[in-house]
Structure 1
Amino acid sequence: MDIPRQFLIREGDLRILNPFSPAKLAALGRALKLTPGTTLVDLCSGKGEMLCTWARDHGITGIGVDLAADWVAVARQRAAELGVDVEFRHGDAARFTAPDRADVAACIGATWIGDGVEGTITILERSLRPGGMLLIGEPYWRLDPPGQETVTGCHMTSKDDLRDLPGLLAHFGELGYDVVEMMLSNADDWDRYEAAHWLNVRRWLDANPDDPMHAEMRAELDTAPVRHVRYQRDYLGWGVFALIRR
């Protein structure tokens, strides 16, 4: 049970696997007013940077779950490096329920586990205490895509795959939640994230000329930079949204 190799290659040595800077991750932790002893369940926790650094900075504890065995190993190493009281498990986040309900339940940038926001919230609620907070990382349309070429260039199949920002916040309300905080990515956050992929892919290509995936990754690098600046950079937004049930 693991994720496709393409993701491992692209992410390479990145610690944050979303278009989110370390400064914004830290700012979000402060904005949420986390206190020592707060418990957090992080589904699709990646390399565990959010859980580990918030445990270091705010004294929280928690559990992270991810499908990528390599990333879980990195997350455990990061926790040991920082000396924090957090746990990481290798498994299917969509099937996970925490042994004890947490103060905060998060799914940052992976709402595919519930086939969208609504289904992911249902999964998260299984591990959330009454009155607790949800964190959802989700893309949205910054600008209305003018046609299918732009939609496809943003890795979507249909314009209806995403809402605009007002529509996304309204959708949270329709699901019975107040939006109590948000932290949005900007163009530089996207550049730093996407461009890091290009360098990781190029270094992998140079080091693995005979790998069966070489041609696929070569073709990706041929088109990814232009695709990003032509479509994603202007049209695709991303943010983390904090929600509390009404």
Structure 2
Amino acid sequence: MITSDSGLPPRLGSLTFHGPLSETRATRMIERLAAEAPADVLDIGCGWGELLLRVLENAPGAKGIGIDINAEDLARGRALADERGLADRVLFVEESALGTERGPVDAILCLGSSQALCDPEQPYDPAAVFRELRRLVRPGGRVVLGEGFWERTPTDEELAGMWPGAHAGDHLSLGALVDLAIEAGFRPAWIETASADEWEDFESGYRYDTEVWLAANPDHPLAAETRERVDRQRSTWVNGYRRVLGIAYLTLIAVV
């Protein structure tokens, strides 16, 4: 197993996408977006930009910008762009998306990163997210948004098993989410949600390299704190949001 300088396995090394997203679904979303022949694509909270790179591969006339605050992920994205011959068509930038002036563009990707568009000092506001996305995309342009929603109202016990301070107001229902998109000036061209299989592949893949490493290195100086972190992460899923929290993938068209 490849390890980092600390001796730990690479972060998220077994994941293709940083979210519950299958190859089949990703391909469909990319093909729909690329069919519009966008000239420019903005990926908000891009991570290593796997979807952005695939859009550029499928839309040869497009250029892309990925913005994120994680330098490690951005470095991985630049390496992938070099490997695929896309380095001259994509820019990975370490910066906040809050109030970004990187638009307007023809297409936006924002999957699991909508919090980057909101003031961290204020309660999360999905309506503000849609307003920002509408500001950043040209009329007639597309947005592919991956956003959390409650599959059903969580119980108090489930909320207690989730992230610290979790409460029922953290997410909306799918219907309420789509209504906000329409109010902000979009038409929902495609509505789909992550399957149980996609969630399980993501959640297991998220921890896979580290779990294998822990099994082989129980006495490593970093094993105890790593084990505690991974056990806590897993617990929030299996004892908290599993089959409760959903991910909606919305392909939105900005109204002219």
Q: What's 1:39 paired with?
A: 40
1:203 Cα deviation from its structure 2 partner: 4.1
- In structure 1, what is the Cα distance between the partners aligned to 2:35 and 2:126? 24
Q: What's 1:119 paired with?
A: 128
Q: Cα 1:10–1:75, aligned 2, differ >3 Å: closer, same or farther?
A: closer
Q: How many residues align?
A: 235
Structure 2 unaligned segments of length 5 or more: list them.
1-8, 119-123
Contact 1:106 1:124 (8 Å CA) reproduced: no
Q: What's 1:233 paired with?
A: 242
Q: Does residue 1:107 correspond to 2:110, yes or no?
A: yes
The structure with the largest helix share of the pair is 1
- In structure 1, what is the Cα distance between the partners aligned to 2:38 and 2:177? 31
Q: Cα 1:137–1:152, aligned 2, differ >3 Å: closer, same or farther?
A: farther
Normalising by structure 1, we get a TM-score of 0.83
Question: After the TM superposition, which of the residue ranges 22-31 and 33-42 deviates more from structure 2?
Answer: 33-42
- In structure 1, what is the Cα distance between the partners aligned to 2:70 and 2:45? 9
Local SS of the residue matching 2:243: helix
Superimposed CA distance per residue, residues 23-44 of structure 1 (whole angstroms, 9 cap, x where no aligned partner): 2111111233534453211110
Contact 2:174 2:248 (8 Å CA) reproduced: no
Q: How does 1:13-92 map to 2 (within 5 A)?
A: 13-32=14-33, 34-59=35-60, 60-84=62-86, 85-92=89-96
- In structure 1, what is the Cα distance between the partners aligned to 2:130 and 2:157? 30
Q: What's 1:5 paired with?
A: none
Letter in structure 1 aligned against 2:109: A
Q: What's 1:150 paired with?
A: 158
1:230 Cα deviation from its structure 2 partner: 4.1
Local SS of the residue matching 1:32: helix
Q: Cα 1:83–1:9, aligned 2, differ >3 Å: closer, same or farther?
A: closer
1:187 paired residue among 171, 193, 196:
196
**Aligned CA-pair RMSD:** 2.5
Question: After the TM superposition, which of the residue ranges 234-243 and 64-73 deviates more from structure 2?
Answer: 234-243
Q: What's 1:210 paired with?
A: 221
Q: Cα 1:18–1:33, aligned 2, differ >3 Å: closer, same or farther?
A: same
Q: Cα 1:136–1:166, aligned 2, differ >3 Å: closer, same or farther?
A: same
Superimposed CA distance per residue, residues 127-156 of structure 1 (whole angstroms, 9 cap, x where no aligned partner): 3223322222111111221x2221243436
Q: Cα 1:118–1:218, aligned 2, differ >3 Å: closer, same or farther?
A: same
Contact 2:161 2:235 (8 Å CA) reproduced: no
Percent sequence identity over aligned pairs: 26
Local SS of the residue matching 2:140: strand
- In structure 2, what is the Cα distance between the partners aligned to 1:37 and 1:188? 31
- In structure 2, what is the Cα distance between the partners aligned to 1:37 and 1:133? 9
Contact 2:137 2:254 (8 Å CA) reproduced: no
Local SS of the residue matching 2:220: coil
- In structure 2, what is the Cα distance between the partners aligned to 1:58 and 1:68? 26
Q: What's 1:196 paired with?
A: 205
Contact 2:189 2:253 (8 Å CA) reproduced: yes
Letter in structure 1 aligned against 2:156: Q
1:168 Cα deviation from its structure 2 partner: 1.5
Q: Cα 1:210–1:116, aligned 2, differ >3 Å: closer, same or farther?
A: farther
